[in-house]
Amino acid sequence: MAEPFLPFTRPTFDEATLTGVVDTLRSGWVTSGPRVLELESALERYLGGDRRVRLFGHATGALEEALRVIGVGPGDEVVVPAMTFAASANVVLRVGATPVFVDVDLDTRNLGLDAVESVRTDKTRVVMPVHFAGLPVDLDPLHAWGRQHGICILEDAAHAIGARLAGRPIGSFGDLVCFSFHANKNMTTIEGGAISLPLDRTDWIDGLERLRFHGLRKAPDGSYDVERAAGKHNLSDVAARVGLGQLVHLDAFNRSRLHLAARYFERLQSNPWGLGLPARGDDGHAWHMFTVRIPFDRHGIDRAEFQARMRGLGIGVGMHYPALPPLALYRERCGWQPGQYPNAERIGRETVTLPLFPAMTPTDVDRVVDAIGQALGIPG
């Protein structure tokens, strides 16, 4: 009997969450309401520190409105890693600013301060570090540099809920930190996101509340005024109830991911296929993804063929991500030249994402590793 297909990710929901969603539907209040407020408070307690959390319908909207509340617009520059998802750069363009790409480390996939400093100009308003795959960026020197130059650090922490840097939860410190709760993330609200920001930045907090719901300011009697032409990014109570059920298990989910990643390292450390393994980090790594680099040229196949062979063996393999600067939109806007971002471009050519989610077992990891050998035609 064939083993079931193993996707590269899959969310886990307990019965209490399913029951809670039904109860929310039956309550008659399904859009933004008491469950949203409850999840915001629960996330504030989870992160700790003097923080406020505001939920959004998706992390892309959270990033975009974070840029707006900072005041970023035409003529401004935002430093973005060349290896990240398109949303990180798209939101910069959407507010009228210019993304300035920097290369990343080959193994961590994260940007570093030296690269950021090399592109700083008098137009640089924001640096957007991305905690790639849940591995925290080295933030302390970056924050100190930002304070020195009056530059805001807007963290794209889409991969990093539950990650820790020197024992501190990502989102418990810093300027603005944006999380994603998409279906493939370490905790999910199906679609959704959040911004963590300092408790004393009441101007940012108030601005984000306006920006996420039509620019409205409501009065106690239910009347309202419109203060700006804003969009709509509110999260529903149904989605928030899913998030409440997920947050209870987040640390356990992340421990499972850590143990599965350790099994991957155990099996792949001395692999015969020339795989480039990700930086291991420490126990603060959230392990949203386990990405490896495969030298496809050496093996005489391309990534599409490798993915097809893995599917034929019952294994789903993702691709996270192509380098951003060579893609059509940024190539035209930013004038990319081949080899300009050598690490990001190499990662983009060689990267594959192996299955990693809490319901997996070490035996599943062994199955994936054995399948890699079969797909590449070289036994492990």
Residues annotated as catalytic (active site), given as ranges: 185
For 183, the token pair is: 């279906």
Q: Are strands 193-198 and 176-180 parallel, antiparallel or unpaired?
A: antiparallel
Kind and range of the H or E run holding 52 = strand 51-56
For residue 219, count CB atoms less than 10 angstroms from its CB and return exposed for 0-12, middle for 13-18, buried for 19 or more: exposed
Conformational region of residue 132, where left means phi above 0, alpha means psi within -120 to 50, and beta covers everything else: beta
For 126, the token pair is: 């924001």
- CA 159 distance to own-chain centroid: 3
Asked if 102 and 78 count as a contact pair (C-beta separation under 8 A), the reply is no
Asked if 162 and 177 count as a contact pair (C-beta separation under 8 A), the reply is no
First to last CA, the chain: 24
Largest CA distance in the chain: 71
With tokens 């290896």, the residue in question is 83
Asked if 108 and 279 count as a contact pair (C-beta separation under 8 A), the reply is yes
d(CA 333, CA 230): 26
Sign of CA dihedral 149, 329, 92, 46: negative
d(CA 241, CA 98): 37
Nearest residue to 179 (alpha-carbon basis) of 125, 235, 228, 124: 235
d(CA 236, CA 21): 11
d(CA 63, CA 130): 12
Q: What angle do CA 309, 313, 316 make, to 5 degrees?
A: 80
